[in-house]
């Protein structure tokens, strides 16, 4: 039977480590600070940002939640970021995506000072990551590496296949795996003979944004499957495709009219050696790594 990687336990340990670092910084009269900019009224974003603010409070990180209206302009958002760049009590700046449609997201993310870019999206940090220099790495890919390392999954010398080439997950995940001495293949919508490539993977990272895209036939028996995808399914046809006979999921679906599935078909987990569940998997590491990045930014800014 495949091993379920305990992402909740790993996230909890990382938060404990961060809390200890914060106590050490407090002895130097330093308190890390995180500013979250939440523009508009996207319900999922509101829940996500408030969970980040709550985690800051639990760990002892100062947080400032800034909520411009959905009518905000790019220029107004630029002014918000510029003000945060200049504040000494703010070590990390988080601009929650998606932004209102009239805001130039790329320009805004580029305006965040690289040393405060705790999401790791700035081109300067992307370049530093590629060059193997100290950088603030994107939280989700960094969490993937922590899951593998803390679960005792060997990376060096293994063939890691990354499904997806986004700047937020796919590309940085591939780079981090490469830095850990994996042999890395990046696949995407134009990849030929995809099943042949994935069946050769010792580690398969799925970040392609398609519900249940990875089927059992695409998995190397005994491989480690890291499922980054979060896809909401709302139809009975989709539900039966992935969860027919699953009483626990059935109860959730009946109550809410929807349930969550990753980019990997749950039936593929039966072929794997180890895997991250959805929900309760990689997503738990994202907030933990954001906290770790905020503390790291506080240290780097002060030369500690």
pLDDT for res 34? 98
Same domain, 154 and 278: yes
pLDDT 10s digits, 55-99? 999 999 999 999 999 999 999 999 999 999 999 999 999 999 889
pLDDT for res 37? 95
158 within some domain? yes
Same domain, 278 and 162: yes
pLDDT for res 134? 86
Report how far apart, in Å, the C-alpha atoms of 60 and of each of 51, 88, 97, 113, 132 are. Answer: 14, 17, 25, 23, 30
258 within some domain? yes
Same domain, 200 and 268: yes
- Among 244, 247, 286, smallest CA distance to 267 is for 244
Tell me the mean pLDDT in the region 141-169. Answer: 97
* Distance, CA of 122 to chain centre: 16
Same domain, 96 and 145: no
pLDDT 10s digits, 12-21? 999 999 999 9
As annotated, the active-site residues are 52, 96, 119
pLDDT 10s digits, 188-209? 989 999 999 999 999 999 999 9
Same domain, 143 and 245: yes
pLDDT-based confidence at residue 165 (cuts at 50, 70, 90): very high
Tell me the mean pLDDT in the region 112-133. Answer: 95
Domain containing 34 — which CATH number? 3.40.50.10860
* Structure-token pair, residue 68: 């411009």
6 within some domain? no
| pLDDT over 90 at 45, yes or no | no
107 within some domain? yes
pLDDT for res 41? 81
Same domain, 109 and 145: no
Whether the Cβ atoms of residue 253 and residue 200 lie closer than 8 Å to each other: no
Report percent pLDDT > 70 for the chain.
100
Apex CA 98: angle with CA 41 and CA 237, to 5°? 90
206 within some domain? yes
* Structure-token pair, residue 158: 């293994």
* Structure-token pair, residue 297: 């930014």
Same domain, 156 and 84: no
pLDDT for res 43? 79
- Among 199, 198, 208, smallest CA distance to 164 is for 208
Domain boundaries, position 91: 29-113
More confident of the two residues 43 and 13? 13
Same domain, 41 and 168: no
Report percent pLDDT > 90 for the chain.
90
* Structure-token pair, residue 206: 């799925």
Domain containing 148 — which CATH number? 3.40.50.720
185 within some domain? yes
Same domain, 212 and 173: yes
pLDDT for res 137? 96
φ/ψ (deg, to 5) at 141: -60, -40
pLDDT 10s digits, 238-277? 999 999 989 989 998 999 999 999 999 999 999 999 999 9
- Number of domains the chain is built from: 2
Integer Cα distance of 143 and 284 in angstroms: 9
Q: What is the largest CA-CA distance in the chain?
A: 58
Integer Cα distance of 94 and 112 in angstroms: 9
pLDDT for res 242? 94
φ/ψ (deg, to 5) at 162: -110, 120
φ/ψ (deg, to 5) at 163: -95, 110
Tell me the mean pLDDT in the region 111-123. Answer: 96
* Structure-token pair, residue 77: 């958002």
What length does the chain have? 304
* Structure-token pair, residue 173: 């995940």
pLDDT-based confidence at residue 44 (cuts at 50, 70, 90): confident
- The mean predicted confidence, pLDDT, of the chain is 95
Q: How many helices (H) and strands (E) does the chain have?
A: 11, 11
| pLDDT over 90 at 53, yes or no | yes
Integer Cα distance of 38 and 193 in angstroms: 41
125 within some domain? no
């Amino acid at each position: 039977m495949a091993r379920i990687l305990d992402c909740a336990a790993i996230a909890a340990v990382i938060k404990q480590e961060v809390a200890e670092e914060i106590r050490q910084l407090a002895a130097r009269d330093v308190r890390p600070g995180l500013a979250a900019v939440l523009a508009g009224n996207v319900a999922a974003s509101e829940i996500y940002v408030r969970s980040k603010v709550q985690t800051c409070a639990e760990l002892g990180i100062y947080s400032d939640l800034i909520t411009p209206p959905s009518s905000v302009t790019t220029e107004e958002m630029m002014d918000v970021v510029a003000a945060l760049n200049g504040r000494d009590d703010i070590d990390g700046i988080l601009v929650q995506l998606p932004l209102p449609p009239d805001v130039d997201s790329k320009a805004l993310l580029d305006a965040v000072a690289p040393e405060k870019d705790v999401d790791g999206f700035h081109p300067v940090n992307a370049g530093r990551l590629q060059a193997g220099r100290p950088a603030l790495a994107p939280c989700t890919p960094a969490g993937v590496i922590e899951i593998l390392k803390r679960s005792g999954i060997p990376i060096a010398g293994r063939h890691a296949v990354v499904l997806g080439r986004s700047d937020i997950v796919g590309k940085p995940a591939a780079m981090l795996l490469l830095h850990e001495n994996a042999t890395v293949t990046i696949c995407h919508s134009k990849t030929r003979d995809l099943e042949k490539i994935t069946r050769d993977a010792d580690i398969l990272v799925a970040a392609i944004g398609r519900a249940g895209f990875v089927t059992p036939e695409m998995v190397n028996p005994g491989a480690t499957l890291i499922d980054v995808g979060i896809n909401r399914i709302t139809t009975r046809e989709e539900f039966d495709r992935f969860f027919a006979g699953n009483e626990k999921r059935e109860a959730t679906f009946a109550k809410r009219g929807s349930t969550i599935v990753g980019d990997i078909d749950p039936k593929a987990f039966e072929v794997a050696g180890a895997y991250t569940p959805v929900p309760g998997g990689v997503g738990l590491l994202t907030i933990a790594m954001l906290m770790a990045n905020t503390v790291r930014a506080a240290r780097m800014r002060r030369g500690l």
